[in-house]
Amino acid sequence: MNQVTDTLHAHNPLLQVWDANFGLPPFNQIHPAHFIPAFDQAFPQHLAEINSIASLDEPPSFNNTLAEFDSSGRLLERITLLFHNLTASETSDDLRAVQLEMAPRLAAHESTVFMHAELFARIDSLYQRRTELGLAADQLRLLERVHLDFVRAGARLRDHERVRYVEIMSGLASLCTRFSQNILAEEAAYTLPLNGEADLAGLPPFVRDAARSAAQQRGLGPDASVITLSPSLAEPFLTFSDRRDLREALWRARTGRGANAGAHDNRPVIAQIVALRQEQAALHGFNTYADYELVDRMAGQTASVLNLLQQTWEPAKAHAEVDRQALTNMARSLGQPTPIAAWDWRYLAQKVRAQRFDLDDAELKPYFSLDAMIAAMFDCAGRLFGLHFVERKDMALHHADARLWEVRGEDGALVGLFIGDNFARSTKRSGAWMSVFRSQSGHEGGTLPIVINNNNFAKASPTLLSFDDVRTLFHEFGHGLHGLLSNVRYERLAGTQVLRDFVELPSQLFENWALEPQVLQRHARHVETGEPMPAALLEKLKRSRQFDQAWATIQYTGPALIDMALHALPNGTPVDMAAFEAEQARRLGIPQDIGQRHYLSHFQHLFASAGYAAGYYVYMWAEVLEADGFEAFTEAGDAFDAATAQRLLRTIYSSGNTQNPADAYRAFRGRDPRVEPMLHKRGLLAKAAA
């Protein structure tokens, strides 16, 4: 061991006990160079723990095998969660280099653990006798979930298959990392400069302020203005800019991410990912990768997914024809070219919305300051679940923009820590997501969750949100509550570690409270006057919510259908990504003037990891549950009905993965969900019935 390595081991904060600040990572002490030495120590430590469990002389029992396995790898888990959070929220050239090196090593270590023959033999022995062991419900669930984890990770493969499987998983980890880094590089490099008043035409003050702020963040000077690819800046520009040529330039830049020839071209990366996933599925004995993934989903099979998506697809296209005519008429009245194009739709829809509902998004924004909406979501969590949020400004975080709150229950006891990181920057991946630095569990007397929400709002002073931004804020906080309110014994079953088409239920359900009149009356106050949102304006907002839902449905459902088509290809099918996507768009009849929310070349849900592969449908699956579930509060006559909220807390938000999700939903609702509330919410029920 050389002197540099010895120093990193001796003084590496990643290897120390984090006993200050409730176990929060010591962010101000951590550097990229610390990670590889820390992983080098954590890997063998974890394997030693695994070998110890596997080599026990005593016959396998739940406590000496499953419980011990669930509590193993604490050091590695802590370092890995921190590493993944930093590479997503606040990366750097040095951290990206470490990420590229560690991605295949992390995957290989996981394969080593889940292909450990002696350990799996003990787990499998318990699984085969599971009905005879007298296990509690959560213990049985843990045994079933861990056993499935091992099987899906290749524990039953033969020797030569195991070798190839490790190669596949390591290769996929490297490719998915490269995919993510390519997107981040293209997003960070792009700006659309706005030079003079002509380029600013049509933009309301909040967009102009955000464009100036984006320029300042990039060191372009106090008088510069730029539009970035961050949705919270790009989408308002596409909505309000009178400059059709600039809208087109921005639209093409957004849709073309990852599809540009050169170092960051994701098309060959995706082809390799798909080929390896097909081989992975074949090794497990499945005909397609979709078949492999859906084994562990509520949907169960491709037909169930397609049945759900098709219930909205054709009705949405039919309704879009009506909307298109209204937008075309608006374009003609404005002297704009027809037929309309994809970079016109948001702009013209805003004009029609303003005319039809006497509602302008620019009129709404002053009532939706970020600080006020954070207070609103905390208020809802308090009224529903008895939580209180106390901001702490004395703890170092990963970035100056991030904020931290202690989360306390009605009795004042600490529930967890919540971090909000809400602003876009070039060192942060796009989108919005929830993650944890530590999961809740019953280990060592109980571990407190440390939860983080990431958004990518355009930073300004003050930061004003669209209502879609407000929904995103509430959505991610719904995930956050799922992590914070978790109350289970075993970490593998904690918080959001549920089936992928169930994990979006707590988040999408919480969005409903963002539109509750009593919430908006209290918190949606004009940023300058402090006056509450007028009741008439709120009513306009509510009446306009179904407008343009056909466009939103097509934008989402098209990519969901393409995802399923891609991952349902027979194993061994080579794919030209551009040709495949074009053919699917033609086959489905995706309108060119609407397009897709995600194109394959930048579809991070599918290719940044396997999390949503053959699974982008899950948002609509969860929307069925959410729309039906919120009706329980409607039926109770109060959006904050205490009995309904307590039932929701007990069955959904705090129970993690301790039971089958279909059973969890029935325990909350008293029956299976109905699809009609979702179709009604999207304004598609009549069309669907026809």
Q: Which residue has the tokens 């037909």?
A: 303
Output the six-digit token pair for 636: 């109770």
Pairing of strands 414-423, 403-408: antiparallel
- The CA-based angle 559-563-564, given to 5 degrees, is 120
Sign, CA torsion 549/603/471/491: positive
Secondary structure of 310-331 in HEC code, one letter for each residue: HHHHHHHHHHHHHHHHHHHHHH
Point out the catalytic residue in the list 90, 293, 476, 504: 476
- Answer whether 496's CB lies under 8 Å from 484's CB: no
Are the C-beta atoms of 658 and 141 separated by less than 8 Å? yes
Q: Count the Cβ atoms, other than its own, within 10 Å of residue 310.
A: 13
Three-state DSSP class for residue 525: strand
CA 558 to chain centre: 19
Give Dmax over CA atoms of the chain in angstroms.
83
Residue of 25, 10, 12 lying closest to 417 (CA atoms): 25
Q: Which helix (H) or strand (E) holds 111?
A: helix 93-114
d(CA 253, CA 228): 10
User: What gap in Å lies between CA 249 and CA 255, rounded to an integer?
Assistant: 10
| Distinct helix (H) and strand (E) counts, the chain | 29, 7
Find where tokens 């209204």 sit. Answer: 326
Are the beta carbons of 387 and 407 closer than 8 angstroms? Answer: yes
Assess whether 406 carries a catalytic annotation.
Answer: no
Nearest to 623 by CA among 459, 499, 502: 502
**Sheet strand arrangement including 414-423:** 388-392, 403-408, 414-423, 450-457, 433-438
**What is the Cα–Cα distance from 388 to 406, expressed in whole angstroms?**
8
CB atoms within 10 A of CB 28: 10
Query: Mind telling me the catalytic residues?
Result: 476
